[in-house]
Amino acid sequence: MNPRVIVVDDEAASAAVLGGLLRRLGCEVILFDRAAQALPAMLAGDVDLVCLDLSMPGLDGHQALTLIRSHEYSQRAPSVPVIAVTGRVRPQDRAQALAAGFAAHLGKPVLAERLQRVLARTMTLRDDLHRTRYSADRATLEQRLHAMRQADAGDPLPGAAGLALAIEQEGHATLLLALNHAFAGDATAACGTVLAFAGMASDIGAPRLAQALHALHERLCAGPEDELVTAAVLARAELDRVIFTLREQVRTP
């Protein structure tokens, strides 16, 4: 079955070019010029990939991604991979997009060869990018939360909620710092921060997140950029599963 792809870009020419390239790669493409108009289709659950321009009037790409993920969390729906397709091509723009949870960052003008590689990688990783399900470390996470609740005679809910928020903020900051340094040509500068967060992940009972961060650390020290990006994307996806698992403890104490 051909992948079903939604392209959202307020620049008609850019949308048409990207849509044409995707069709040549065998995709079924639906074009929108506003994220707000595309939102129902993006949330319908029958889409394989979303390509979002970051600089759109009204609802921009980052805001649209937040709404997509919020809907998936509330409905416990499978996560659709979302690619940033943008004229923002500075190293910090790429880092910000990947740290936020985009599956890839494509600069404009989009090159056919680059698009083909990104599409193939994203489709291959799609199941690994499923954020709205429990981490495989659910049992150990729950054990650590139970220990926290036993130690705190007060309301247990702030413990789970606070931990989820802390992990989310620290995880985003760590990925952003690591990618900023990597894309600026100084990846080793962020290695210590990544390892420190990996230790934090282990401490809360999330060894798979720690493993993903160690893999990212290895790619920071040595490895092709595509492998670094893949490691960062997989680490972000596991981070989101850990956050989902912790938040579910708040919903069902």
Just give the CATH number of 4-129.
Answer: 3.40.50.2300
Q: What integer pLDDT is reported at residue 148 of this predicted model? A: 76
pTM of structure: 0.91
Contact 34, 15 (CB under 8 A): no
Give residue 189's pLDDT.
Answer: 82
Domain boundaries, the chain: 4-129, 138-251
Strands 104-107 and 28-32: unpaired
Neighbouring-strand partners of residue 83: 51, 104
Sign of the C-alpha dihedral computed for residues 116, 121, 126 and 129 taken in this order: negative
Check: CB of residue 38 under 8 Å from CB of residue 32: yes
Mean pLDDT per 10-residue interval, the chain, length 253 residues: 92 94 96 94 93 92 94 89 94 95 94 94 89 89 82 61 90 95 86 92 96 95 88 96 87 56
Structure tokens at 29: 């493409």
Residue type, 163: L
Q: List C-alpha distances in Å: 166 to 200, 219, 247.
A: 11, 25, 12
Closest to 120 in 3D by CA, of 41, 230, 29: 230
pLDDT at 63: 95
Q: In what order do the strands lie in the sheet with 82-86?
A: 28-32, 4-8, 49-52, 82-86, 104-107
Is there a cis peptide before residue 109, judged by omega within 30 degrees of 0?
yes
Task: Sort 222 into a burial class: Cβ within 10 Å, 0-12 / 13-18 / 19+.
Answer: exposed
Structure confidence at residue 126 (pLDDT) = 86
**The pLDDT value given to residue 50:** 97
